[in-house]
């Protein structure tokens, strides 16, 4: 047991030292707390009156304060207190160096943990992360049974799924073939003749640019191999650093999980950004590939970096990112568009990713892929995801093209039904932002709460399925101004948390800036802003107005009407091409990559 | 000791308020500020003129994806360990 005198030298701020005192008392130490702002001479007199082991002084640093503190230490010296007591300084803007310079035995700044001060008093080494946030990976799909509550909508979705699966039954593509070849190749013995044969067959299904890259390293502009020296440097960097006082974005809430995008082009930069974001509370990352990669038949191999947006989805890159992040961090790999969807899902699974992203409707309508090709490939991708027990999310970003929310939500539900039929575990990802159709039609004229809330409640009324609004939340409301962007993100995050969604994707505060890559500081801005919002809301919540219920009713009715039209179409690709899930008037156009490639 | 600039992970953002007569004037001042701070050409990420001046956010990339990042260290130490 130590005898401790607690001295708030500050005229106002004494909260910190009271918290320290409480912690010391709980540990059984004897403490005396003086009233704030006593004259220094009185404090020294009190300190000399008892055989204290420690004198803890709290004071915010300001103009002239350093001199005052220096004089205080001199007085303690002169009175003999320093002969038996250690003198410790704490407060805002105090650093260990400054405290030492002024003659204190120790100094603790505003970010120091109370436990750190207690450990010093008790002569123990402080374990920085003891009691700190412990990362735990969570399967957000686990609580859900995928029961459809609305019988008529379930009937329509069953009909659409039957037709779609029947239509796709005898159809295939080079994308499907490559995924099968790749799976065989991965299961084969390295260097075997069987593998060489598989490689030759794989190449025959690829675009010449991919073959040239695989054979001779003739990569597209801006792509190069990562050197061994760079890998050594990365390993050295990661080995020599670890997070200090890692935290959660959430306060006391269990949900939502918080995801950030990665995909700078360079896996090394992605990893370092990812590790830093882990420390600031990100639970997971979505790895984004280059848009051109989706247009090629075939995926490049090796450890590759790219000097523009999007990190190449080679198996080596995916493995490197996965293995370099915290094992408890969730990783999802984008595969919802383009000509390599099944193989990307396979590689993601084999690299150890936790989730993937598949959306036949959005991938066709807003992301450029031919509807027939993406239906065939998307179904195979769902089968692969199911085989690897890897949930997939369905991003409703076709709404960003101008598609009305009810058509996008209908598309999400079709993907859910197809996924469930194929044994996978889908995740709904409705847009949670100020989409173009909403801007034009005024559903968010009075607030950003009601319509976003209505989308979530409409989906919940229809199906028991995890919901992960995106993507990112607050998109279209963020500007290039840092504080505005952070605020917009944090308000939407607070609403998402109030609605009890399972996960959210956060933009960085430079997401609206399109002329350069995301900076790590901008990533931290968003995580900090959301952490503050979650601390602010705590176990309270943001409540929608009664208008949200009216919006919800309207959405459910219109989703049903959209699905009825789709169910009457010959097949899902035919419905997409006919504009039933978004048309040219909305701003959505069926994609053309891979047109005519289904056989 | 490594230069501070080498230790910038990716970008430097400067946020300030420049007294000026117009948005155009503000943009020109922002670019000039970048040069005066020895940053060379900077990108004006955000600007808003309010009649008295501009609230600006400027950005200079020190390292872009795929560059030879100075902060990554030499790496030889890691191999030796």
A42-57 per-position pLDDT tens digit: 999 999 999 999 999 9
Instruction: Over range B49-65, report the average pLDDT.
Output: 97
Tell me how far apart the alpha carbons of residues A344 and A350 are, in angstroms, rounded to a whole number.
10
Residue B78 is nearest to which of A239, A265, A516, comparing CB atoms? A239
Give yes or no for B25 touching A (CB within 8 A): no
Which residues of B fall within a CB distance of 8 Å from A220? none
Distance from the Cα of B61 to chain A's closest Cα (Å) equals 8
B57 contacts A480? CB cut-off 8 A: yes
B48 contacts A240? CB cut-off 8 A: no
Tell me how far apart the alpha carbons of residues A527 and A504 are, in angstroms, rounded to a whole number.
12
* A239 pLDDT more than 70: yes
What DSSP character marks residue A461? H
ipTM higher than the 0.85 cut:
yes
Q: Assess whether the previous peptide bond of A34 is cis (omega < 30° from 0).
A: no
Distance from the Cα of B45 to chain A's closest Cα (Å) equals 6
> pTM here?
0.88
* A387 pLDDT more than 60: yes
Q: What is the 3-state secondary structure (H, E, C) of A73-117?
A: HHHHHHHCHHHHCEEEEECCCCCHHHHHHCCCCEEECCCCCHHHH
* A131 pLDDT more than 80: no
CB atoms under 10 Å from CB of A359, counted, come to: 30
Q: What's the pLDDT score for residue A534? A: 97
- The label of the residue with tokens 């280059």 reads A290
Nearest CA in chain B to A236: B78
Angle between helices A405-421 and A151-168 (to 10 degrees): 60
Binned at pLDDT 50, 70 and 90, residue A132 comes out as: low
Instruction: Over range A321-334, report the average pLDDT.
Output: 97
Nearest CA in chain B to A309: B65
- The label of the residue with tokens 């103009």 reads A63
Distance from the Cα of A193 to chain B's closest Cα (Å) equals 34
Binned at pLDDT 50, 70 and 90, residue A25 comes out as: very high
Which residues of B fall within a CB distance of 8 Å from A516? 11, 43, 59, 61, 64
Binned at pLDDT 50, 70 and 90, residue A196 comes out as: confident
Instruction: Over range A332-358, report the average pLDDT.
Output: 96
The helix/strand/coil state of B59 is strand
* A35 pLDDT more than 70: yes
* A129 pLDDT more than 60: no
Distance from the Cα of B26 to chain A's closest Cα (Å) equals 16
- The label of the residue with tokens 């069987």 reads A194
Nearest CA in chain A to B74: A233
Give yes or no for B73 touching A (CB within 8 A): yes
Residue pair A458/A555 in contact by the 8 Å Cβ criterion: yes
* pLDDT per residue as tens digits for the range A435-489: 999 999 999 999 999 999 999 999 999 999 999 998 899 999 999 999 999 999 9
Q: What share of chain A is helix, strand, coil (3-state, %, to 5)?
A: 50, 10, 40
Q: How far is CA A513 from CA A218, A527, A540, A582, B46, in A?
A: 32, 18, 33, 28, 8
Residue pair A430/A463 in contact by the 8 Å Cβ criterion: no
Q: What's the pLDDT score for residue B80? A: 44
Tell me how far apart the alpha carbons of residues A254 and A423 are, in angstroms, rounded to a whole number.
27
Which residues of B fall within a CB distance of 8 Å from A307? 64-67
Q: What's the pLDDT score for residue B75? A: 57
Instruction: Over range A261-275, report the average pLDDT.
Output: 97
* A65 pLDDT more than 90: no
Instruction: Over range A333-345, report the average pLDDT.
Output: 94
B13 contacts A513? CB cut-off 8 A: no
Residue pair A50/A8 in contact by the 8 Å Cβ criterion: no
Residue B72 is nearest to which of A237, A239, A515, comparing CB atoms? A237
Instruction: Over range A314-323, report the average pLDDT.
Output: 98
Q: What's the pLDDT score for residue A234? A: 96
Instruction: Over range B29-58, report the average pLDDT.
Output: 96
Nearest CA in chain A to B47: A481
* A339 pLDDT more than 90: yes
Binned at pLDDT 50, 70 and 90, residue A347 comes out as: very high
Give yes or no for A510 touching B (CB within 8 A): yes
Going by C-alpha positions, the residue among A330, A320, A380 that lies closest to residue A353 is A330
* Range of lowest pLDDT (A48-52, A403-407, A481-485, B34-38): A48-52
* Range of lowest pLDDT (A65-69, A87-91, A154-158, A393-397): A65-69
Distance from the Cα of B2 to chain A's closest Cα (Å) equals 15
Q: Are strands B11-19 and B53-61 parallel, antiparallel or unpaired?
A: antiparallel
* A224 pLDDT more than 70: yes
Tell me how far apart the alpha carbons of residues B27 and B30 are, in angstroms, rounded to a whole number.
5
């Amino acid at each position: 047991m130590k005898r401790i005198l607690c001295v708030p030298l500050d005229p106002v701020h004494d909260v910190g030292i009271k918290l320290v005192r409480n912690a010391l008392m709980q540990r059984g130490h004897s403490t005396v707390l003086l009233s704030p702002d006593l004259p220094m001479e009185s404090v020294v007199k009190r300190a000399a009156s008892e055989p204290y082991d420690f004198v803890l002084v709290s004071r915010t640093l300001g103009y002239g304060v350093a001199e005052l503190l220096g004089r205080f230490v001199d007085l303690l010296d002169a009175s003999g207190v320093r002969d038996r007591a250690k003198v410790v300084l704490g407060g805002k803007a105090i650093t260990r160096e400054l405290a030492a310079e002024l003659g204190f035995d120790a100094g603790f700044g505003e970010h120091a943990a109370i436990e750190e001060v207690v450990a010093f008093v008790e002569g123990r080494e402080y374990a920085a992360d003891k009691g700190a946030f412990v990362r735990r990976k969570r399967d957000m799909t686990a609580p859900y049974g995928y029961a459809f509550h609305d019988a008529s909508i379930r009937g329509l979705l069953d009909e659409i799924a039957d037709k779609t699966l029947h239509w796709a039954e005898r159809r295939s593509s080079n994308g499907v073939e490559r995924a099968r070849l790749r799976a065989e190749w991965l299961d084969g013995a390295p260097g075997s003749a069987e593998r060489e044969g598989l490689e030759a067959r794989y190449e025959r299904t690829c675009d010449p640019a991919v073959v040239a890259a695989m054979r001779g390293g003739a990569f597209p502009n801006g792509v190069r191999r990562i050197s061994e020296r760079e890998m050594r440097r990365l390993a050295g960097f990661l080995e020599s650093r670890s997070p200090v006082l890692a935290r959660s974005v959430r306060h006391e809430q269990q949900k939502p999980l918080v995801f950030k995008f990665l995909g700078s082009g360079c896996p090394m930069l992605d990893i370092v950004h990812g590790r830093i974001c882990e420390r600031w509370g990100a639970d997971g990352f979505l790895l984004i590939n280059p848009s051109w990669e989706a247009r090629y038949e075939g995926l490049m191999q090796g450890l590759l970096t790219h000097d523009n947006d999007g990190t190449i989805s080679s198996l080596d890159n995916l493995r490197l990112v996965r293995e370099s992040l915290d094992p408890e961090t969730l990783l999802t790999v984008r595969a919802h568009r383009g000509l390599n969807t099944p193989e990307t899902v396979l590689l993601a699974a084999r690299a150890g990713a936790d989730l993937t992203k598949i959306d036949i409707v959005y991938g066709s309508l807003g992301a450029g892929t031919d509807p027939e090709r993406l239906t065939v490939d998307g179904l195979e991708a769902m089968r692969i995801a199911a085989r690897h027990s890897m949930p997939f999310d369905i991003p409703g970003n076709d709404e960003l093209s101008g598609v009305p929310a009810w058509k996008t939500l209908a598309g999400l539900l079709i993907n859910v039904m197809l996924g469930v039929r194929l044994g996978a575990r889908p995740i709904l990802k409705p847009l949670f932002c100020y989409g173009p159709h909403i801007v034009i039609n005024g559903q968010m004229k009075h607030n950003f709460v009601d319509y976003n809330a209505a989308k979530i409640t409409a989906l919940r009324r229809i199906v028991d399925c995890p919901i992960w609004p995106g993507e990112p939340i607050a998109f279209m409301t963020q500007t290039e101004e840092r504080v505005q962007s952070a605020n917009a993100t944090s308000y939407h995050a607070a609403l998402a948390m109030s609605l009890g969604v399972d996960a959210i994707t956060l933009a960085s505060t430079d997401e609206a800036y399109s002329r350069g890559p995301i900076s790590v500081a901008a990533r931290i801005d968003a995580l900090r802003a959301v952490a503050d919002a979650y601390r602010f809301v705590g176990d309270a919540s943001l409540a929608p107005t009664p208008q949200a219920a009216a919006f919800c009713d309207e959405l459910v009715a219109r989703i049903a009407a959209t699905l009825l039209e789709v169910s009457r179409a010959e097949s899902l690709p035919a419905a997409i091409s006919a504009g039933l899930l978004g048309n040219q008037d909305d701003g959505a156009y069926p994609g053309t990559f891979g047109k005519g490639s289904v056989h | 000791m490594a230069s501070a600039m080498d230790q910038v992970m990716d970008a430097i953002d400067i946020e300030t308020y420049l007294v000026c007569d117009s948005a155009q004037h503000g943009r020109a001042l922002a670019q000039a500020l970048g040069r005066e701070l020895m940053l060379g050409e900077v990108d004006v990420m955000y600007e808003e003129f309010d009649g008295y001046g501009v609230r600006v956010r400027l950005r200079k990339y020190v390292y872009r994806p795929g560059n030879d990042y100075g902060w990554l260290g030499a790496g030889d130490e890691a191999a030796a360990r």
